[in-house]
Amino acid sequence: MKRSDSSRMQGVTLIEVMLVIAIATSLTLMVMKQYQMMKRDSDVQQVNYNVDQIMDAAARYYQANCRVQVDATTGQVVGTAGTLDPAHAPPPSNPFIITVAALRAAGYLTAVLPPNPIVNEAGANNGYMVQFNQVTPIPDRTVTTSTGAVVRLGQIIMWRIQVAVEVRDPSMAASYQNSLRADCVSAISGSGVLPCNPAPAAANYLVWERLPSFASPEANSNLWMTNATTKQFNESYRTMPSNVLAGATPYPQQTFLCGN
């Protein structure tokens, strides 16, 4: 009788041990799954942070290079800035490519971009491609005179910043696009990445495209109008038609710069 009770107790103990092991295993799997989800969220947030930092740096580059430096006395171009001005020699290409390394070397990018498992850092430029896409066709600036004639005053040069991130696993590009709220997925073309395309071939890049004045939603401010260059653009944009209406000759036609 005692042997039977002992066997029963041993059996119960074994069942309890197995139950504890099963519970511990389930908890471990749940913790691992939760960790993987948190790690993925952390990686996504880090990529968004890196993109915002690059966007901010590109916006600062734009403000420094959207027009050439001209000596007010001689009218001659001075310095080497103004690479996005059509008057620059040589004129800017479209798209205009600039590397993250160049932004960092010039002091526009100071933030550290930590490694990220989503990004293919073994790819070109460590997985980050930066370029300026010129808005085409180039918008005309026109005004209607008192006689009803439409007068062309010039052209408005507008650029959009594009940051593209090469994903380590191209099969996950569409999934990452949703998680990272990228504008589109695209593919490399020449030395740059194709602007947003609804059906790119072999898409392995996530693409974000923004205006320089809204490079980062986190850094947006209602004080942006205090930018001197922007104020100069807006003043020219408003007052030039007044000169035309007053009978002034709208020539030579102007190129409106630094307005976006």
What is residue 227's predicted lDDT score, i.e. its pLDDT? 52
DSSP 91: P
Highest mean pLDDT pick, 91-100, 232-241, 249-258: 91-100
DSSP 167: B
Q: Which two tokens stand for residue 211?
A: 């205006």
Cβ contacts of residue 179 below 8 Å, gap of 6+? 40, 44
Q: Are 70 and 22 in contact (CB under 8 A)?
A: no
% of the chain exceeding 70 in pLDDT: 68
What is residue 150's predicted lDDT score, i.e. its pLDDT? 78
Task: Give the whole-angstrom CA distance, residue 254 versus residue 138.
Answer: 13
What is residue 123's predicted lDDT score, i.e. its pLDDT? 77
**Average pLDDT score over residue span 44-62:** 90
Residue spans of the domains in the chain: they are 45-256
What is residue 129's predicted lDDT score, i.e. its pLDDT? 94
Q: What is the pLDDT of residues 220-236, one digit of tens each?
A: 555 544 454 554 554 45
Locate all alpha helices (DSSP H) within the chain, ordered by sequence.
2-65, 100-105, 173-180, 228-245
Q: Look up tokens 């526009």; give the residue.
A: 108
What is residue 44's predicted lDDT score, i.e. its pLDDT? 82
Total Cβ atoms within 10 A of residue 220: 11
Residue 31 above 80 pLDDT? no
Q: What is the pLDDT of residues 111-121, one digit of tens each?
A: 888 888 888 88
**Average pLDDT score over residue span 192-221:** 76
What is residue 79's predicted lDDT score, i.e. its pLDDT? 72
Task: Give the whole-angstrom CA distance, residue 10 versus residue 22.
Answer: 18
